[in-house]
Amino acid sequence: MLPGSILQQLTARCRQNNRSLNLGVYYKNTLIALCHALEDFILETESKPIVLAAFQQGKWYLQEADRYGEMAEKSSDIAILATSDTTWAAHSTSQKENVFLVSLSPEDPVSQEWHLMIISPTYTAMVLCQELSDSDYGEAGVPENDLERKFYGFWTFEPELVRETLALTISHIGEYDRDLQQHLSNCFSSMNAEFGHCQRDDLNAVVTKVVDYLHAIHQDSPMAGEGRSLDDNLTSNEVQAYLRMAQLIDGADATNPNAAAEVAALAEAMGQLLDLPAWQIKRLRLAGWLHRLAPLQGATQVSDPRSKAQQDILQKQGLLPKASVLRVMPQLNAIASIITYQSESWDGSGQPKGLSYDEIPLESRILSLMAHFQNCTVVYREEGRENPLGEALGNCQEKAGTIFDPKLVEALALLAMGMQQGMTLQNVKPKISTGLWLLDESVTSHPFDKARGKQSPATL
C-alpha cells in the first residue's frame, strides 16, 4: 500500500487498534458493478447523503459526470478527487453548488486509489481500493485489457469504518482546500448526530442491487465466458454481499452479536458428530453464517421472546432481508432452501410448507436446532443462570418430537456434554474478501436428489 494513501492510513489505524480488514483483490469490472449499485441506491432513496469519490484521473470522472449530476440532485454534498483533466471542470455537473472538485497532485498517493464513500442519516456504504503497481502484477505485467486491471482493498456497509475513512478523506481534502474541509466537516458532524435516530434504509435492497449488477456485468461483459479469473471475481463478490449483510445483522444485535459464527461452528460440529460427508458439512457452515437471512416465519415458535423483540428492532432498521434475497444468486439456491426450511417443525406445524419428519431437509433440521440452542445459551448466560448450556439443552429437549428432530436432540446432548467438559468450538468468522471458496458444485446442489427420483423440498 502506498504510504499516505487513504487505504494505508486506515489499515494502519486498524492494526493499532487490533482490528482486521477484509482486504482482497478486485478487477475493474467488479468495482464498476459495486459502485454503480451503490450509486443507484442514492438515486432511489430520500436520505441526501454526503458522497466522496476518488476517480484517479479526471478523464474517468468525465465518463461518469452525467450520472453524478443526477446523484447531486439526491445528495447533500459530493466531492470528487482526481488528477485534473483539461475539461473536467467545464462539465455541467461540476458547476452544481453541491459538487466540489479536488484536483490531486499526480504525486499524491490518493491519485492511485478508487474510492466511493456514502454516509447518510439512514445508511452507510463504501468501496475503498488502490490500484496494483506495475511490480505487483509480476512477470505477467500490466494487463492490456482495461477490465483486467486489479485493485487491492475492500467494500463494506459498516458505519464505524465508513465514518473513520470519510474523516481521513476530509482531512486529506484539507491539504488542497481548507474551506471545503471545514464545510464537509460541519456536514459530516451533523449527519453523524442524526445517524441512528431515523429509520434505516432497507439494506436488503442494497445487497440485492449489488448482486444484480454483478450478474449483469458478468453476462454483458465482452470477456464473459473467456476470463475465468474475471468470472470468479464477480461470483466471489456476490457471495461477499450476503456475508456482509449477515455481518450487519449480527452487529446490530447487541444481545447476540456472534450468532452467525457460533451457529456455523455448532452446525459444523453436529455434522462431524453425525459423520456427514465433507460437502454437506461445508454447506452447513455457510448456511450457519447466513442463517439470519431467513424469512423468519414461525420464528416465535422456537425463539426466546427477547430474540423476537430483537428481530422487530432489526426489521425496523431495514436489516432483515426478504425471503427471496438469497435466490437472486443461483449458486446459493441450495443454501437458500436450507435457511428457508429451518422454520419447519418436526410435527408438521411449522412454516413455510408445513413439512414434517424426514420431509424437512436434514441441514434445515440441524440449523434450526443449533440456532435455537445457541440463542438460548446466550440468553441464559446473560441472565446469570448457573448452567446455561444445560438449561439450553433442556429447552431443546422439551421441544423434541414437536419442533425438533428427536434424534438430533439426542446428538446435541452429546455435543453439549463435550462442551461442558471443556471442548471448545472454533468460532471462525469467514474471510469476506475471498467468498469464492465457499462455493463448489457439491455445496450448491443436492447429489442425493436424483437418487430419490423426485424433487426434494430442499431444491424447491
- 115 forms beta bridges with 54, 128
pLDDT (0 to 100) of residue 405:
96
Grid coordinates belonging to 391 = 438449561
What sign results for the dihedral spanned by CA atoms 248, 251, 255, 256? positive
Tens of pLDDT, residues 211-222: 777 767 655 554
Non-local CB neighbours of 178 within 8 Å, separated by 6+ positions: none
Q: How far is the C-alpha of 312 from the C-alpha of 332, rounded, in Å?
A: 26
Residue 156 pLDDT class (50, 70, 90 cuts): confident
Tens of pLDDT, residues 63-118: 899 999 999 999 999 999 999 887 888 899 999 999 999 999 999 999 999 999 99
Non-local CB neighbours of 304 within 8 Å, separated by 6+ positions: 375, 376, 379
* Domain residue ranges of the chain, discontinuous segments joined by +: 6-201, 241-459
HSE value, Cβ hemisphere, 13 Å, CA-based, for 171: 11
Tens of pLDDT, residues 409-431: 999 999 999 888 877 776 666 55
Q: Is 236 helix (H, G, I), strand (E, B) or coil?
A: helix
Residue 177 pLDDT class (50, 70, 90 cuts): very high
Tens of pLDDT, residues 297-340: 333 333 443 455 545 544 554 444 444 455 545 567 788 888 88
DSSP H/E element including 150: strand 150-156
Q: Select the CATH number that applies to the domain covering 6-201 from these four: 1.10.3470, 3.30.870, 3.10.450, 3.30.110.
A: 3.30.870
> What value does the mean pLDDT take over residues 20-34?
82
> Of 396, 449, 453, whose CA–CA distance to 280 is shortest?
449
Q: Which of 86-90, 270-274, 391-395 has the lowest mean pLDDT?
A: 86-90
Structural contact between residues 413 and 369, judged by C-beta atoms closer than 8 angstroms? no
Highest averaged pLDDT of the listed ranges 192-196, 205-209, 358-362, 382-386: 358-362
Mean pLDDT taken over the chain? 79
> Of 382, 383, 411, whose CA–CA distance to 393 is shortest?
411
- Cα pseudo-dihedral 437, 28, 149, 331, rounded to 10: 20
Looking at 123-227, list the stretches that DSSP marks H as alpha helix, in order from N- to C-terminal side. 159-173, 178-194, 203-220
Q: Select the CATH number that applies to the domain covering 241-459 from these four: 1.10.10.10, 2.40.30.20, 3.40.250.10, 1.10.3210.10.
A: 1.10.3210.10
Query: Cβ atoms within 10 A of the Cβ of 311, count?
Result: 19
DSSP state string for 305-374: HHHHHHHHHHHHTT-S--TTGGGGSGGGHHHHHHHHGGG--TTS--SSS---GGGS-HHHHHHHHHHHHH
Structural contact between residues 339 and 326, judged by C-beta atoms closer than 8 angstroms? yes
Strands 50-57 and 113-119: antiparallel
What is the phi-psi region of residue 138: left when phi exceeds 0, alpha when psi lies from -120 to 50, beta otherwise? left
Looking at 355-422, list the stretches that DSSP marks H as alpha helix, in order from N- to C-terminal side. 362-382, 388-398, 406-420
Place of cell 488542497: 176
Place of cell 429447552: 395
